[in-house]
Amino acid sequence: MRQLGRISRSMMREAMRAPYLERDEEHELAVKWRKTHDCAAMHRIATAHMRLVVSMAAKFRRYGLSMNDLVQEGHIGLLQAAQRFEPDRNIRFSTYASWWIRASIQDYILRNWSIVRGGTSSSQKALFFNLRKLRARLHQGRELSRGEMHNEIALCLGVSADDVALMDSRLSTPDISLSLPPVAGEEGNTVSAQFFVSDEPLPDQIVGDAIDRERRRRWLRTALRELNARELKIIRERRLKEDGATLESLGSTLGISKERVRQIESRALEKLRGALIKAHPEMALIGA
Range scoring the smallest mean pLDDT among 13-22, 137-146, 207-216, 268-277: 137-146
Asked if the 203-286 domain carries CATH number 1.20.1290.10, the reply is no
Gap between the Cα atoms of 71 and 90, Å rounded: 27
77: pLDDT strictly greater than 90: yes
The count of other CB atoms within 10 Å of the CB of residue 14 is 12
- Residue 83: the pLDDT is 87
Q: What is the mean pLDDT of residues 101-111?
A: 86
Q: Assign domain 9-112 to a CATH class.
A: mainly alpha
- pLDDT over 90 percentage in the chain: 13
- pLDDT recorded at residue 101: 93
Share of the chain above pLDDT 70, in %: 73
Distance CA 32, CA 96 (A): 18
- The answer to which of 98-102, 138-142, 257-261 has the lowest mean pLDDT is 138-142
Band (4; pLDDT cuts 50, 70, 90): very low
Query: What mean pLDDT is reported for the chain?
Result: 79
Residue 11: the pLDDT is: 62
DSSP designation for 174: -
The arithmetic mean of pLDDT across residues 27-47, rounded, is 87
How sure is the predictor about 165, in pLDDT bands with cuts at 50, 70 and 90? confident
Q: Which range is least confidently modeled, 155-159, 202-206, 256-260?
A: 155-159
Mean pLDDT, to the nearest integer, of 24-45? 87
Q: What is the pTM of this model?
A: 0.48
Where exactly are the structural domains of the chain?
A: 9-112, 122-172, 203-286
Q: Is 111 strand, coil or helix? A: helix
**Among candidate residues 233, 267, 232, the one with its CA nearest the CA of residue 259:** 267
pLDDT value of residue 118: 54
Tens-place pLDDT, residues 228-274? 999 999 999 888 888 888 999 988 988 999 999 999 999 999 999 88
172-177's contacts with Cβ under 8 Å and 24+ in sequence apart are 175/114, 175/115, 175/116
pLDDT in tens, 107-131: 888 777 764 555 556 666 677 766 6
Decide: 109 and 171 in contact? Cβ < 8 Å: no
